Amino acid sequence: MSFPRTVEQVFNKMKATLFILCYPQPSINDQCLAAISEYLGLNYKLIKPEDLLRDDPSCQDTKNRNKSCIAFSNETINALCQNNNLSLIEKLPGICSFVFVYNCNPFISSNDGLKILTNEVLESVSALSDNEQSYSIEERHREISKQFSGLVFGPVNSQVDFVFNVRKPSDQLDSIISINKRPMLARVKREGCSIFALATGKIQDVNEIENRSLTAANYFSTLIPTLMVLKYVFGDFCWHPVANQACLTIDDPLLHKKYGFLNYVDLLNSMNQNGYFTTMAFIPWNYRRTQREVAELFLKNSNRYSICVHGCDHTAREFGLTDFYEMDKKVKLATKRMLAHQKLTGLDFDKVMVFPQGVFSTASLKALKSNNFTAAVNSGVFPVDSGGLKIIDMLQQSVLFYESFALFHRRYPLVIADFAFDLFLGKPALIVTHHSHFKDGYKEISGFTGKINLLDADLKWRGLEEIARNSYWQKKESDTQIYLKTCSNILHIDNDFTDTVKYSIMKYETNNIPLEGILVNGQKIDYSIANHFLKFDIDIKPKASTDIVIKFKNLYTNLKEDTGMFEKVKIFTRRHLSEIRDDYISKI
């Protein structure tokens, strides 16, 4: 990271530029903020105090104030105060529309800079005595807190979470996030400038390695408030989803009128009453066992039901093998059975894999990609043959690190804040459960899906393949230029604008499977692959739609089913014993 020569070189060129004021040198938190801005697709510039003290006419004219954001840590303004740079702090509200002060903590020797900046609304910062408290997110500022609005959850992390001491009540102060009725993320309005102040001791390093799934409890305060501020300030110039989406998946059941505690008619009634969608994770081994009336129920209610692929035989760790050829055969057999099921029942299927017992290998993802599956969905995102992931890889709409194939993360219906976490990040809210969840009826799942609906008024409930098709992020370059980042090999784009828009589309792609071509509304187009990114451009006319397919070649074209008789008997026995357990033993 390096400083620009003068801030005038960049100050007015890009609407989506975050200016990070560093003094005397960039700190670790400054660098972490820069990495978060990159994740959002923003430009950032590290600037020195003298760059802001130049006699720039734009700094004197509040009517033409710069619309970008100046961010700095409380350590920086404390250092400026100690070096008698008070004039800069006093000048900031007149220079720009937004100021973001982070790393406000009780260990700073002086809070004079914070008091000057906020016109003495915020006086100091206090530590928390313990973790036995909760975050409370203000409902009134949904434009900032988005899906977290109105939630109360915890526990807090007293090692890095702090609160502001308010010197005097003021209608200029908005408490966005509070702990024990004291602000942790505050906004002070002054002279037409919104000053955001964050009382945490850490900005998350998104390049840190993690070996567990991300949760709101573990990463809320070090990550989400910063994202709230930047997303609010920069809006559509940040990467953002075209739609916020959700789906309930139920693993394993046969398509019989009743399976264990599950009744498809009763579930349909619950979905219609509460506005959610269910994808059944269907075991391909059962392809000849679907009851006709259930298939007809699904066909008549495709706005509520779909099925996807759940393994092949659903044996232990069947997709945990590391041999690509074996995984390719397993995927081909599963696909063959699903196509046979489609022919027998007329019921189409989502070409999305849900791994049995959540176990998978990188070879299985490569096999899915080579057979042009759309995505995989799993309760964990770590293969058996790989270690941890960078946090930034898990912050994407799906994990693409393994074989550049879309792997979506799903959760059990336990903690509503975790689903707010996913939706806020631009991921789909994917719920997983089993038939046993309905032992006491459908009230519990109806209540939980109702809570998810309250998180986002525009939430769209869809099947897994439809979710993957619409799982891309976009950001605005101009009224006729949009950048789009996709994770799936199929996507659907609606141009809702009144002008023809050029979409510059990219996908992380290691080129581990040969690319057969890209089809736009059935027609092949040119593309390029460089530096691990597949890129192509398309123009979409006003109010028009486009369907895109990125198609890969499979080098293994023959399927030879070589399962021995003994293995077939084991699979038969396993499947029927599982059904006896679910239909009878579980009800005792």
| pLDDT of 384 above 50 | yes
Q: In one letter, which amino acid is 486?
A: T
Residue 451 carries which DSSP code? Answer: H
Q: Rounded to whole angstroms, how far apart are CA atoms 36 and 224?
A: 11
CA distances from 461 to 90, 192, 308 (A): 49, 40, 16
Q: Nearest CA to 462 among 450, 471, 454?
A: 471
In the predicted structure, residue 584 carries a pLDDT above the cut 90: no
pLDDT, tens only, 132-188: 999 999 999 999 999 999 999 999 999 999 999 998 777 899 999 999 999 999 999
The answer to whether residues 126 and 106 touch, using CB atoms and an 8 Å cutoff, is yes
Quote the pLDDT of residue 24.
86
Residue scoring higher pLDDT (295 or 52): 295
Residue 408 pLDDT > 60: yes
The dotted CATH code for 245-469 is 3.20.20.370
Show the beta-strand stretches assigned E in 337-464: 350-354, 375-378, 389-390, 407-409, 429-433, 460-461
Q: How confident is the model at residue 8 (pLDDT cuts 50, 70, 90)?
A: very low
Q: How confident is the model at residue 11 (pLDDT cuts 50, 70, 90)?
A: very low
Pick the more confident residue, 68 or 114: 114
Residue 532 has pLDDT above 60, yes or no: yes
Q: How confident is the model at residue 9 (pLDDT cuts 50, 70, 90)?
A: very low
pLDDT at 262 over 70: yes
CATH code of 7-238, in short, is 3.40.50.880
Q: What is the pLDDT of residue 96?
A: 84
pLDDT tens, position by position, 316-358:
899 999 999 999 999 999 999 999 999 999 999 999 999 999 9
Please report, for the chain, the start and end positions of each structural domain, with discontinuous segments joined by +: 7-238, 245-469, 472-552
What CATH superfamily is the domain 472-552?
Golgi alpha-mannosidase II (2.60.40.1180)
Angstrom distance (rounded) from CA 472 to CA 506: 10
Maximal CA-CA distance, the chain: 85
Reduced to 3 states (helix: H, G, I; strand: E, B; else coil), residue 523 is strand
Q: What is the mean pLDDT of residues 444-463?
A: 96
Whether residue 24 is preceded by a cis peptide bond, meaning omega within 30 degrees of 0, is: yes
**Is the model's pLDDT at 558 over the cut of 70?**
no
Residue with more model confidence, 550 or 90: 550
What are the residues whose beta carbons fall under 8 Å from the beta carbon of 95, sequence distance 6 or more? 52, 59, 65, 66, 70
Q: Select from 180, 195, 129 the least CA-distant residue to 158.
A: 129
Q: Is the pLDDT of residue 566 over 60?
A: no
Q: Tell me: pLDDT of 73 over 90.
A: yes
**Each residue of 220-245: pLDDT tens digit?**
999 999 999 999 999 999 999 999 99
Distance, in Å, from the CA atom of 440 to the CA atom of 449, rounded to the nearest integer, reads 16
Q: How far is CA 223 from CA 181, 252, 255, 399, in A?
A: 21, 36, 42, 18
Mean pLDDT rounded to a whole number for the chain = 89
